[in-house]
Amino acid sequence: MNVQTLHTVSLNETQQRLLNDFQRHFPLSSNPYAEIAEQLGISEQEVLQHLKELSKQKVISRIGAVFRPHSIGRSTLATIHVPAIRLAEVANYISSLPEVNHNYEREHYFNLWFVITATDEEHLEDILNEIEEETGLSVISLPMLEDYHIDLGFKLCF
């Protein structure tokens, strides 16, 4: 699950458990939401409703697998300098792109960073160009040179 922290929301205990307990241990089965429901002691429909609400509140942006870079398609880390007054607008636009799996603000001249995953190098370049055209801002692509495993699951504090 991708979790964003651009705004503050109030989450109930079940939603907190959904976010913390299943970042790393999402069931790999033909019926994962039923397994999650069983572990949480609620119905599968309730699990789906909570996930729908978390998505609507933009607490999560997607549920899906994370693959080792370049094992499927192409990816790059990218950064962009966004004037502070446009940061939320540009971040929301970038988050809306299906090829972007997360973005975050940094305290630096290049203040918005994001990862793009595309089917191939040409598609990746098309997305980078689209972002530049849509925002009017220059994007710097920083492709991976050496592979390191970083656990992106974080214990969330509520």
What's the pLDDT score for residue 2? Answer: 45
pLDDT tens for the chain, 158 residues: list them.
444 444 567 889 999 999 888 887 889 899 999 999 999 999 999 999 999 999 998 888 778 776 666 667 898 999 999 999 999 999 999 999 999 988 899 999 999 999 999 999 999 999 999 999 999 999 999 988 887 766 667 677 66
Q: Does pTM top 0.85 for this prediction?
A: no
| CA max distance for the chain | 49
The CATH number that domain 1-65 falls under is 1.10.10.10
CATH 3.30.70.3460, domain 74-142, yes or no: yes
SS (H, E, C) the chain: CCECCCCCCCCCHHHHHHHHHCCCCCCCCCCHHHHHHHHHCCCHHHHHHHHHHHHHCCCECCCCCCCCCCCCCEEEEEEECCCHHHHHHHHHHHHHCCCEEEEEECCCCCCEEEEEEECCHHHHHHHHHHHHHHHCCCEEEECCCCCCCCCCCCCCCC
pLDDT value for 1: 43
Amino acid identity, position 131: I
Domain span(s) for CATH 1.10.10.10 in the chain: 1-65
The candidate with the shortest Cα–Cα distance to 64, out of 28, 11, 39, 115, is: 28
Q: Give residue 10's pLDDT.
A: 84
Q: What is the pLDDT of residue 152?
A: 65
Give pLDDT, residue 79: 97
Unique residue bearing structure tokens 């940094």: 106
pLDDT of residue 6: 47
120/116 Cα distance (integer angstroms): 11
Residues 6+ apart with CB under 8 A from 22: 1, 36
Domain with CATH 3.30.70.3460 in the chain: 74-142
